[in-house]
Chains A and B, each alone.
Chain A
Amino acid sequence: MTPLLNGLVEALRAAFADRVLGVEEFRGDVTVLAEASAVADIAGFLRDNPLCPFDLCEDVFAIDQYRTPRRFEVKYHFFAVRNRVRIHIKTAVDEGDPRVPSIAAVYPAALFGEREAFDMMGIVFTGHPDLRRIYMPEDFAYHPLRKDFPLMGIPGSLTLPER
């Protein structure tokens, strides 16, 4: 870990205490594991810190780990354009209560990413101003990228025009 990232991680630990659950490093990529409730605050902290302001939210997406206790992971990629540093935030939520605070107020770029994660995985981003489906029809009842969704879909769940 570079000294800059190390300093950032330490600052995060100091600011969020036990809401930061851990730090992983893989080939120079640093991932901070956090409680879901802390995600929006961490995003704000990363954007506004003077050390290395992360001014670009590259992506927001969800992963279905299926058999783990906290089934859905939500991941964020932030990039500091000036410092050319990247940091990843990861949080996990339970299937029964897949709610994560929205970071759209901090990074408007996350608006669409959060809608996609909602559409495909059913993650509910609380505080999102416009959490609608982005790809599937609005009256579709499922979240198709979940691992228990059949590949060919659910018969009758999507309509075709009459021939």
Chain B
Amino acid sequence: MGLESIFGEGYLTTRIDALVAWARKNSLWPMPMGISCCAIELMSAGDPRHDISRFGMEVMRFSPRQSDVMIVAGTVTYKMAHVIRKIYDQMAEPRWVIAMGACASSGGMFRSYSVVQGIDQFIPVDVYVAGCPPRPENLFHGLLELRKKVGKSSVLDLPDLPPAREKRSDQPGNGKGRGFA
């Protein structure tokens, strides 16, 4: 195995926490939740000039089941909030959320009836990235901050599991909130 070849006959002592956190923080797979203009900047974060893969975070997964961090990039309306929550609920633990841009963080310039004034009203947010839109460098800063946070996490930090809820039979999905379908 790789470790043996690096350390020869020797061995390595560490804490399982540190090892797991190290593994987790170096391969965050983002779920690009691009909803509006910020998503364009999220795309340019992946271009050769900015190159998100320098940080080991380039594996954008369009399936929530395969991703660790959801980057919410855009203006979230009340109607969309249910969709985002549904996707977030499908992500496997441990999972993190980045609110990219003013809109996702606080509603931004859309102080109006249809826009959720910050996605932290319905999902937990780990890192807020300021800007309208944030430059890719700023997003990377957010990702690196998240990396620090993940690096400090412990396997014993139990995820924010929602309390058990009775499944409602009159609607599809997980029975959380109210669907509009």
Contact = CB atoms under 8 A, between A and B. Distances in A.
Interface of A: 135-139, 144, 149-154, 158-163
Interface in B102-128: 111-114, 116, 121-124
A144 B81 contact: no
Interface residues of B, number: 20
27 contacts: A135-B114, A137-B79, A139-B180, A144-B113, A151-B111, A151-B112, A151-B113, A152-B111, A152-B112, A153-B112, A153-B113, A154-B113, A158-B78, A159-B78, A159-B82, A159-B178, A160-B78, A160-B82, A160-B121, A160-B122, A161-B85, A161-B86, A161-B122, A161-B176, A162-B122, A163-B122, A163-B123
A150 B114 CA distance: 11
Contacts, number: 53
7 smallest beta-carbon distances between A and B, as pairs: A153-B113, A161-B177, A161-B85, A158-B78, A137-B180, A160-B122, A161-B122
B112 A160 contact: no
A139 B178 CA distance: 11
Interface in B136-154: none
A161 B81 CA distance: 7
A144 B122 contact: no
A144 B111 CA distance: 14
A163 B121 contact: yes
A137 B177 CA distance: 14
Nearest to A145: B113
Contacts of B81: 160-161
Interface of B: 78-79, 81-82, 85-86, 111-114, 116, 121-124, 162, 176-178, 180
Given A149-B113, A152-B111, A158-B113, 9 more contacts: A137-B79, A152-B112, A152-B113, A159-B178, A160-B121, A160-B122, A161-B81, A161-B86, A163-B121
Nearest to A153: B113
- State the main secondary structure of chain A at its contact with B: loop
Contacts of A136: 79, 114
A120 B59 CA distance: 41
Contacts of B121: 160, 163
A136 B177 CA distance: 17
B176 A138 contact: no
Most buried by B among A137, A152, A154: A137
Contacts of B177: 159-162
Contacts of A150: 113
Contacts of B79: 135-137
